[in-house]
């Protein structure tokens, strides 16, 4: 487990995953201190001169015209954190909270927020020592950023709220005391700097995106196994045929599919059969899987920019001696593309469910009904396909874009919002649903290959089949399929299927 170095400019999506999901240590790069101190000195000068500047010595939102006395500035910031901690719903997962905290550290390290270095260092200590604020998942409209959830993180810094530490839920003050982190007395601008921005939607979006990207490879593996199980042909994946359309993702997926079934005795066994066209769910895998790949590439590009962006408000430019109150906190750039991610990943689930249904249908597949050699007495995979159908139907509802909605807030001062947090949560749910759909297809397609023994599958598909069979045996008699699905899902989470296949045939696109 390595170290993630934060400089405010060069954080990668993979580093977010390393720190959030795998617990990598976080450290500030040397150049952060000078940037942060320069900006803080400028803010302190504003306070000294008693200039009126939004967020430093005024109220917030619609109350921006209310001037706050100098001796009340610390109380103003503390009140802001308390009043904005209005989230509801179940808590976010620990990795999602860690992702938010890491992204907030990166934002504040850019040197445009005006906080003390001490505040950033406190967040870093919390990450490294495992103090994770409890953050309700609902309550943000995505402008002025993710106010409510980010405020719940701020609560713990000032000794309020609750936090998870070593599996226990503690009061914020106690959690901080257990690891020896001092409670902060927020100074001018610091409360606002903790809650303005898109780190909630960006954390959930990043962790979901990286899973979704891996699922593109997994969908190719599952689809290739289904193709062999139902005696379909890879002829439509021909390199020249794919090249004449030109979409990058389509060509990548087709290349994967060709390589996965290379050397397949199953494919060779029916090479001269009368069937000249396969159903779309098989023949069009490169086009559908590839479109998802291309969409996710766009999402990756947007999130890579966003996690290194200054999304606080107001932003401070000490060298130009300027403070600008604008709208960099607005989540629309992220919200639109998280909606796109949800739609794109839903497509992977839709086509996978159709392949599962194909495996169930003895007329089309040439396999026993519902993949059971004693069908009637046994129901086989009948209800596993129903589960997949349920999940794709749910995804169709979840894929409706959140970013087309807006509800004015703060007495119409904040009269257009992005709903980015909702887009992020929907995308996360869709990704999780598709993981289960792909687990079902992997189970069913492995069963299909079992019925083709002694013919051997392709080099890649055979390896995937063997990995699955290490945790789930062939289904000869009905058993609890939920347990089988969970076992394959664990293989997916651990990356074992993709890893073993790539060790066999080389890196997949």
pTM given for the model: 0.95
- Report which DSSP code applies to 70: G
Q: For the chain, what percent of residues have pLDDT higher than 90?
A: 89
Same fold, 3-196 and 204-308+345-505: no
Residue 68 reports pLDDT greater than 80? no
Domain boundaries of the chain, sorted by first residue:
3-196, 204-308+345-505
| Burial 297-315, CB ≥16 within 10 A → b, else e | eebbebbeebbbbbbbbbb
Given the residues 5, 54, 165, 280, the one annotated as active site: 54
Catalytic, 54? Answer yes
- The most distant pair of C-alpha atoms in the chain lies apart, rounded to whole Å, by 87
Residue among 88, 86, 87, 63 nearest 76 (CA):
63
Q: Which CATH class is domain 3-196?
A: mainly alpha
Q: Mean pLDDT over residues 192-213, rounded? A: 97
Q: What is the mean pLDDT of the chain?
A: 95
**With bands split at pLDDT 50, 70 and 90, how would you rate the model's confidence at 11?**
very high
| Burial 177-214, CB ≥16 within 10 A → b, else e | ebeebeebebbbbbbbbbbbbbbbbbbbbbbbbbbbbb
**With bands split at pLDDT 50, 70 and 90, how would you rate the model's confidence at 215?**
very high
Identify the weakest region by mean pLDDT among 107-111, 269-273, 456-460: 269-273
Which fold would CATH assign to domain 204-308+345-505?
Answer: Fumarase C; Chain A, domain 2 (1.20.200)
């Amino acid at each position: 487990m390595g170290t993630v170095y934060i400089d405010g400019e060069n954080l990668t999506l993979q580093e977010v995953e390393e720190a959030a999901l795998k617990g990598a240590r976080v450290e500030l790069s040397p150049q952060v201190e000078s940037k942060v101190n320069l900006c803080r000195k400028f803010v302190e000068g504003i306070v000294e001169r008693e200039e009126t500047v939004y967020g430093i010595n005024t109220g917030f939102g619609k109350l921006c015209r209310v001037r706050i006395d100098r001796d009340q500035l610390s109380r103003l910031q503390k009140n802001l954190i308390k009043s904005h901690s209005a989230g509801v719903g179940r808590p976010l997962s620990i990795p999602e909270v860690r992702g938010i905290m890491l992204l907030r550290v990166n934002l504040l390290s850019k040197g445009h927020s005006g906080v003390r270095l001490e505040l950033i260092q406190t967040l870093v200590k919390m990450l490294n020592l495992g103090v994770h604020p409890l953050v309700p998942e609902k309550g943000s409209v995505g402008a002025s950023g993710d106010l409510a959830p980010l405020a719940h993180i701020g609560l713990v810094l000032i000794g309020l709220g609750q936090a998870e530490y070593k599996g226990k839920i503690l009061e914020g003050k106690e959690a901080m005391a257990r690891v020896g982190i001092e409670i902060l007395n927020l100074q001018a601008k610091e409360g606002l700097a903790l809650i303005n921005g898109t780190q909630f939607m960006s954390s959930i979006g990043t962790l979901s995106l990286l899973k979704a990207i891996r699922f593109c490879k997994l969908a190719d593996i599952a689809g290739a196994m289904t193709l062999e199980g139902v005696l379909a042909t890879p002829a439509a994946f021909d390199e020249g045929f794919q090249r004449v359309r030109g979409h990058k993702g389509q060509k990548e997926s087709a290349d994967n599919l060709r390589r996965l079934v290379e050397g397949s005795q199953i494919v060779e066994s029916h090479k001269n059969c009368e069937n000249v066209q396969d159903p779309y769910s098989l023949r069009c895998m490169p086009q559908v899987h590839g479109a998802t790949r291309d969409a996710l590439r766009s999402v990756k590009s947007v999130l890579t920019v966003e996690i290194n962006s200054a999304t606080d408000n107001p932003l401070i430019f000490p060298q130009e001696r300027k403070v600008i109150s604008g709208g960099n906190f607005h989540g629309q750039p992220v919200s639109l593309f998280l909606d796109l991610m949800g739609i794109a990943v839903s497509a992977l689930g839709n086509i996978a469910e159709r392949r599962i249904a194909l495996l169930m249908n003895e007329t089309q597949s040439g396999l026993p009904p519902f993949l059971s050699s004693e069908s009637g007495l046994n129901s086989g995979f009948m209800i596993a396909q129903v589960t997949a159908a349920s999940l794709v139907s749910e995804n169709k509802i979840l894929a409706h874009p959140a970013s087309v909605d807006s509800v004015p807030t703060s007495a119409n001062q904040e009269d257009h919002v992005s709903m980015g947090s909702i887009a992020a949560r929907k995308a996360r749910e869709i990704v999780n649903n598709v993981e289960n759909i792909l687990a079902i297809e992997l189970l069913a397609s492995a069963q299909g290959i079992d019925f083709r023994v002694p013919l051997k599958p392709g080099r890649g598909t055979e390896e995937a089949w063997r990995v699955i069979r290490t945790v789930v045996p062939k289904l000869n008699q009905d058993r609890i399929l939920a347990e089988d699905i969970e076992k394959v899902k664990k293989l997916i989470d651990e990356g074992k299927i993709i890893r073993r296949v790539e060790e066999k045939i080389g890196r997949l696109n």
